[in-house]
Structure 1
Amino acid sequence: MRKKRPYFPRKNTHKPGLSSKPDLFAIGTIRVHPRGFGFLVPEDRPKFPEDIFIPRHRTKGAVDGDRVEVLVFTRYVSEKGPEGRVEKILSRGRSHVAGTIVYERTKGKTHAYVPLLGKDSLMSILPTDERKLVVGDRIHIHVLDWGGKNQDPLGEMSGYIGSISDPSCDIAAAIEEYDLEEAFPESTLEEARSYGTSVQPKEISARTDLHELPCITIDPETAKDFDDALSLTKDKQGHYHLGVHIADVSHYVRKGTSLDEEAQERSNSVYFPGKVVPMLPHELSSHLCSLKPNVNRLTVSVLMTLDTNGDLLNYEICRSVIQSKKRFTYEEAKEVLDGKKKSPFAPALHLMMELCLLLKKQRAARGSIEFSLPDIQIRVDETGVPQEMHLVEYDITHQLVEEFMLKANEMIATHLSKEGKPLTYRVHEEPNPENIKEFATLATSFGFPLPSQPTNLELQTLFDQARESPFGQFLATSFIKSMKLANYSTDNIGHYGLCLEHYTHFTSPIRRYIDLVVHRLLFEPVDPRVDYNSIALKCSEKERLSAKAENAVVLLKKLRLLLTTQKSDPKKVYPAVVTQVKPNGFAFEVEAFLYEGFLFTDRWSPKYHSGEKIEVKLRTVDLITLETEWDLAL
Structure 2
Amino acid sequence: MKLKETVEKQLRESRQPYMNMKLLCTRMPSFQKYQIRACLNELEREGKVYFSKESGYALCSRLGIVSGTVVKVAGKFGFAQLDDEEGTQVFIPGRFLMGAMAGEKVLLKTRPSRTGQSLEGEVLHVTPDPDGGYIGVLHQAGQSCWVVLDSMPKTDIQVRPSSVGTAKDGDKVMVKLAVRGKSHFSHVAEVVTVFGDSKKAKNCCDAILVENKVKLDFDEATLQEAAAVGERGVDPADFAGREDLRDWCIFTIDSKETKDIDDAISFRQVEGGFELGVHIADVSHYVKRGSALDAEAFERGTSVYYANAVVPMLPVELSNGVCSLNPDEDRLALSCICKMAPSGEILGYRIAKTVIRSCKKCAYSEVNALLDGTATPEVEAAYAQVKETLLQMGAFGKVLEARRFGRGAMNIESMEAKIVIDENGDPVDILVRDRGDSEKMIEEFMLTANEAVARFGREKQLPFVYRVHEDPDPERLEVLQGIVKAFGHPYLKIKAGAPSKVLADVLDVTRGKPEQILIHKMVLRSMAKAKYAETPLGHYSLSLHDYTHFTSPIRRYPDLSIHRILTDYLDGVPAEEIKKRYGEFVKEAALQSTNREIGAMLAERSCDDAYKAQYMERFVGQELDGIISGVASYGFYVQLPNTAEGLVRLATIENTDFELSEDGTKLVEERTGRTLRIGDPVRVKVRAVNVSLGQVDFDLAK
Q: Aligning the two structures, in what range does the TM-score lie when normalised by the shorter sequence?
A: 0.7 to 0.9
Which moves more between the two structures, 608-617 or 449-458? Answer: 449-458
Task: Specify the alignment match of 2:567 in structure 1.
Answer: 523
Contiguous gaps of at least 5 residues in structure 1? 1-21, 43-47, 74-78
Task: Specify the alignment match of 2:669 in structure 1.
Answer: none
CA-to-aligned-CA distance 1:439-494 (integer Å, 9 cap, x gap):
34455667766548265334223322443346545643443233221111224432
TM-score by length of 1: 0.83
Task: Specify the alignment match of 1:214 in structure 2.
Answer: 249
* CA apart distance, 1:242: 0.5
Closer/same/farther in 2, CA of residues 121 and 93 from structure 1, 3 Å limit = farther
* CA apart distance, 1:565: 3.6
Does 2:312 align with 1:285? Answer: no
Q: Which amino acid aligns with 1:200?
A: D
Task: Specify the alignment match of 1:550 in structure 2.
Answer: 604
* CA apart distance, 1:305: 0.2
* CA apart distance, 1:558: 0.5
Give secondary structure in 1 for the equivalent of 2:230: coil
CA-to-aligned-CA distance 1:296-326 (integer Å, 9 cap, x gap):
1111000010112221111111111111222
Percent of pairs with identical residues = 29
* CA apart distance, 1:530: 4.7
Does 2:628 align with 1:578? Answer: yes
Whether the 8 Å contact between 2:408 and 2:502 is mirrored in structure 1 is no
Q: Which amino acid aligns with 1:156?
A: E
Closer/same/farther in 2, CA of residues 23 and 432 from structure 1, 3 Å limit = farther
Closer/same/farther in 2, CA of residues 314 and 56 from structure 1, 3 Å limit = farther
Whether the 8 Å contact between 2:281 and 2:553 is mirrored in structure 1 is yes
Whether the 8 Å contact between 2:469 and 2:541 is mirrored in structure 1 is yes
Q: Which amino acid aligns with 1:160?
A: V
Does 2:440 align with 1:399? Answer: yes
Task: Specify the alignment match of 1:628 in structure 2.
Answer: 696
Give secondary structure in 2 for the equivalent of 1:179: coil
* CA apart distance, 1:361: 2.8
Q: Matched residues in 1 for 2:123 and 2:558: separation?
A: 30
Whether the 8 Å contact between 1:141 and 1:159 is mirrored in structure 2 is yes
Which moves more between the two structures, 209-218 or 363-372? Answer: 363-372
* CA apart distance, 1:561: 0.7
* CA apart distance, 1:96: 2.1
Q: Matched residues in 1 for 2:80 and 2:470: separation?
A: 19
Q: How does 1:436-451 map to 2 (within 5 A)?
A: 436-443=477-484, 450-451=491-492
Give secondary structure in 2 for the equivalent of 1:543: helix
Q: Matched residues in 2 for 1:489 and 1:152: separation?
A: 44
Rg (Cα) greater in structure: 2
Q: Matched residues in 2 for 1:584 and 1:159: separation?
A: 34
1:389 to 430, 448, 452: 430
Q: Which amino acid aligns with 2:241?
A: A
* CA apart distance, 1:516: 0.7
Task: Specify the alignment match of 1:505 in structure 2.
Answer: 549
Q: Which amino acid aligns with 2:442?
A: V
Closer/same/farther in 2, CA of residues 147 and 27 from structure 1, 3 Å limit = same
Q: Matched residues in 1 for 2:644 and 2:160: separation?
A: 39
1:488 to 532, 557, 561: 532
Q: Which amino acid aligns with 2:173?
A: I
Give secondary structure in 1 for the equivalent of 2:448: helix
Whether the 8 Å contact between 2:416 and 2:643 is mirrored in structure 1 is no
Closer/same/farther in 2, CA of residues 471 and 146 from structure 1, 3 Å limit = farther
2:222 to 171, 184, 188: 188
Q: How does 1:183-262 map to 2 (within 5 A)?
A: 183-196=217-230, 198-237=233-272, 239-262=273-296
Q: Which amino acid aligns with 1:124?
A: Q
* CA apart distance, 1:335: 1.0
Q: Matched residues in 2 for 1:151 and 1:471: separation?
A: 47
Q: Which amino acid aligns with 1:546?
A: A
Q: Which amino acid aligns with 1:99?
A: G
Q: Which amino acid aligns with 2:586?
A: Y
Task: Specify the alignment match of 1:460 in structure 2.
Answer: 504
Q: Matched residues in 2 for 1:420 and 1:442: separation?
A: 43
CA-to-aligned-CA distance 1:254-282 (integer Å, 9 cap, x gap):
01111111111111101121211101001
* CA apart distance, 1:377: 0.5
Contiguous gaps of at least 5 residues in structure 2? 1-60, 112-116, 569-577, 658-671
Which moves more between the two structures, 241-250 or 309-318? Answer: 309-318
CA-based RMSD: 3.6
TM-score by length of 2: 0.76
Q: How does 1:96-111 map to 2 (within 5 A)?
A: 96-102=133-139, 104=141, 110-111=145-146
Q: How does 1:221-370 map to 2 (within 5 A)?
A: 221-237=256-272, 239-341=273-375, 342=380, 343-344=383-384, 345-370=386-411
Whether the 8 Å contact between 2:340 and 2:348 is mirrored in structure 1 is yes
Closer/same/farther in 2, CA of residues 449 and 378 from structure 1, 3 Å limit = farther
Task: Specify the alignment match of 2:14 in structure 1.
Answer: none
Give secondary structure in 1 for the equivalent of 2:147: strand
Does 2:646 align with 1:609? Answer: no
Whether the 8 Å contact between 2:471 and 2:540 is mirrored in structure 1 is yes
Q: Matched residues in 2 for 1:192 and 1:582: separation?
A: 49
Task: Specify the alignment match of 1:15 in structure 2.
Answer: none
Q: Matched residues in 1 for 2:633 and 2:240: separation?
A: 71
Q: Which amino acid aligns with 1:468?
A: G
Whether the 8 Å contact between 1:247 and 1:290 is mirrored in structure 2 is yes
Task: Specify the alignment match of 2:5 in structure 1.
Answer: none
Q: Matched residues in 2 for 1:472 and 1:372: separation?
A: 10
Q: Matched residues in 2 for 1:541 and 1:576: separation?
A: 34
Whether the 8 Å contact between 1:39 and 1:51 is mirrored in structure 2 is no
Which moves more between the two structures, 583-592 or 246-255? Answer: 583-592
Does 2:592 align with 1:538? Answer: yes
Which moves more between the two structures, 557-566 or 347-356? Answer: 347-356
Q: Which amino acid aligns with 1:380?
A: I
Which moves more between the two structures, 221-230 or 241-250? Answer: 221-230
Q: Matched residues in 2 for 1:204 and 1:24: separation?
A: 65
Give 1 or 2: higher helix fraction.
2
Task: Specify the alignment match of 2:460 in structure 1.
Answer: 419
Closer/same/farther in 2, CA of residues 71 and 613 from structure 1, 3 Å limit = same
* CA apart distance, 1:534: 2.3
Whether the 8 Å contact between 2:200 and 2:691 is mirrored in structure 1 is no
* CA apart distance, 1:134: 4.0
Q: Matched residues in 2 for 1:508 and 1:66: separation?
A: 34
Task: Specify the alignment match of 2:616 in structure 1.
Answer: 562
* CA apart distance, 1:414: 1.6
Whether the 8 Å contact between 1:136 and 1:624 is mirrored in structure 2 is no
Closer/same/farther in 2, CA of residues 534 and 159 from structure 1, 3 Å limit = same
Q: Matched residues in 2 for 1:316 and 1:518: separation?
A: 15
Q: Which amino acid aligns with 2:131?
A: R
Q: Matched residues in 1 for 2:352 and 2:110: separation?
A: 47
Q: Which one scores higher on RCO, CA 8 angstroms, separation ≥ 6?
A: 1
* CA apart distance, 1:148: 5.0
Whether the 8 Å contact between 1:579 and 1:587 is mirrored in structure 2 is yes
Q: Which amino acid aligns with 1:291?
A: L
Q: How many residues align?
A: 593
Q: Which amino acid aligns with 1:94?
A: D
Whether the 8 Å contact between 1:180 and 1:266 is mirrored in structure 2 is yes
Task: Specify the alignment match of 1:5 in structure 2.
Answer: none
